[in-house]
């Protein structure tokens, strides 16, 4: 098939080279019925190399997860073949069930049904900490 222009859909551009599959998995893109294109190691003036994900449908994206995994991503919303919106991500202040706390003394290691919640505590260094025990996410 030809990976061409999208009529209606989403392009995740400027993905750090090598991370497209991780994002594909985290966003559950494999569960979509529409066409999804994964482009790895594309040439980029800005990054040298980059990955790109093209989703041939407009879907709800969890921007918080995307922002946490790879805040440099640009999200382009395409309608009728034109970019109608371009979003630049930033680190979310809180992420749920994305990171697991590695602290064996944390209550999340034993308490059933507890959400794994991390908060951004240092935006400059991109530090996230467990809301329960304050352990830094690795």
Partner 1 sequence: MRHLIDILDLSKQEIDELLATANDIIDHPADYAEVCHGKKLATLFFEPSTRTRLSFEAAMYELGGNVLGFSEASSSSASKGESVSDTIRVVSNYADIIAMRHPKEGAPMVASMKSSVPIINAGDGGHNHPTQTLTDLLTISREQDRLDHLTIGFCGDLKFGRTVHSLLCAMARYEKVKMIFIAPEELKIPDYLITEVLEPAGVEYVQTTDLESVIPELDILYMTRVQRERFFNEADYLRLKDSYILTPPKLAPAKSTMRVLHPLPRVNEIAVAVDEDPRACYFEQAKNGKYVRMALIMKLLGVTK
Write down the least CB distance from residue 123 to partner 1, Å. Answer: 11
Structure tokens at 71: 């805040």
Under DSSP, the state recorded for 136 is: B
Distance CA 37, CA 50 (A): 14
Distance CA 124, CA 104 (A): 27
Q: Could you identify the residue written with the tokens 């066409």?
A: 35
Nearer to partner 1, 40 or 119 (CB): 119
46 contacts partner 1 (rule: CB under 8 A): no
Q: Which member of 8, 44, 103, 116 binds partner 1 (CB under 8 A)?
A: 103
81 contacts partner 1 (rule: CB under 8 A): no
Helix (H) or strand (E) holding 14: strand 9-16
Q: Which member of 56, 68, 118, 132 binds partner 1 (CB under 8 A)?
A: 132
97 contacts partner 1 (rule: CB under 8 A): no
Residue 56, SS3? coil
Write down the least CB distance from residue 120 to partner 1, Å. Answer: 11
93 contacts partner 1 (rule: CB under 8 A): no
> Do 64 and 92 contact (CB within 8 A), yes or no?
yes
113 contacts partner 1 (rule: CB under 8 A): yes
Phi-psi region of 126 (alpha: psi -120 to 50; beta: other; left: phi over 0): left
116 contacts partner 1 (rule: CB under 8 A): no
Chain residues in the site for partner 1 (CB under 8 A): 103, 105-114, 121-122, 125, 127, 130-136
């Amino acid at each position: 098939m030809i990976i061409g222009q999208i009529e209606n859909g989403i392009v995740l551009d400027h993905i750090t080279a090598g991370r497209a599959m991780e994002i594909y998995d985290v966003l559950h893109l494999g569960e979509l019925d529409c066409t999804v294109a994964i482009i790895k190691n594309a040439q980029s003036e800005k990054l040298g190399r980059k990955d790109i994900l093209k989703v041939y449908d407009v879907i709800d994206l969890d921007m918080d997860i995307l922002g946490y995994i790879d805040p440099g991503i640009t999200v382009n919303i395409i309608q009728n073949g034109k970019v109608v919106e371009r979003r630049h991500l930033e680190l979310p202040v809180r992420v749920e069930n994305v990171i697991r706390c590695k602290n064996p003394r944390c209550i999340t290691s034993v308490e059933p049904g507890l959400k794994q919640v991390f908060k951004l505590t240092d935006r400059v260094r991109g530090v996230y900490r467990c809301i329960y025990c304050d352990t830094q996410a690795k």
